[in-house]
Amino acid sequence: MRASTLSLAALAAAVVIVADCPPTWSASSINEPRSTISILVDLSQTWHNERSGNQNRTVLETVFEAAIELSKRYHPPTHIRVLPIGDASLMRPPLCDAVYDPKLISAPSKSGNGFTQETRLRKYLKADCTRFVVSRPREKFTDISGAIDSAARLALGGRAGDERALIVLSDMKEDLPRGQIPPELSLPGFRILIVYRVLPEDRRAPNLLDKRLGEWKARLTGAGGRVEVVPDQGVTPGQVGRLLRD
């Protein structure tokens, strides 16, 4: 009886662990990615809270749809990573991770997150990944610089990509622990889109938002990126795609 009880307890624990893991799909024999799309998601209290849950889902689904469409225009395979902005963001594991090669026809293997079918990629990102991201616990700090540095290191870590897109979903109000120094950023060849959230305090003092966005744009441009900004309220997949292509 005791052995049976222990087995049931172990099974229950395993179910909890699996439920809290990033969503995965079985892979195909995907070649080394040539293009990258990195999507950074703010998990701090000001962006990731109960009041903004529906808005966050809409923004995530919008950006994921844009990433799918962009990946069809980029040189394949395209690596799509969703990275957290939160406490000590530098080199944290991705929330979601996929490689898309629509031109490849092969049998699925047992490891990795490779996709050859658009419908499966869409379900993975817009359903599984969205559900996983919105279920994450809120984090105390907002290390935007560390998340951007992580995305750059991952994109530049392999062969030089044909396209490098970086999408930041945040209110862009960085909040670091005492004593933490933001890293120097290097973003050569990156097309960067800041999809920003307007905070209640920004509505009372719009000049503060303009100043914050201006400082980020100058910093990212100075690091070699080409930067565009757009509010997340009402943003569309087509708008995201045009800003990253034009």
- Tens of pLDDT, residue by residue over 25-68, are 444 445 678 899 999 999 999 999 999 999 999 999 999 999 99
* pLDDT in the model for residue 12: 42
Task: Look up residue 186 and give its amino acid.
Answer: S
d(CA 246, CA 241): 9
- Tens of pLDDT, residue by residue over 64-116, are 999 999 999 998 999 999 999 999 999 999 999 999 998 766 544 433 589 99
* pLDDT in the model for residue 157: 67
Eight-class DSSP state of 50: G
Location of structure tokens 């540095």: 149
* pLDDT in the model for residue 3: 44
With left for phi above 0 and alpha for psi between -120 and 50, is residue 168 left, alpha or beta? beta
Q: Is 173 helix (H, G, I), strand (E, B) or coil?
A: coil
d(CA 236, CA 142): 25
d(CA 94, CA 177): 22
CATH topology of domain 2-245: Rossmann fold (3.40.50)
Report domain extents, the chain.
2-245
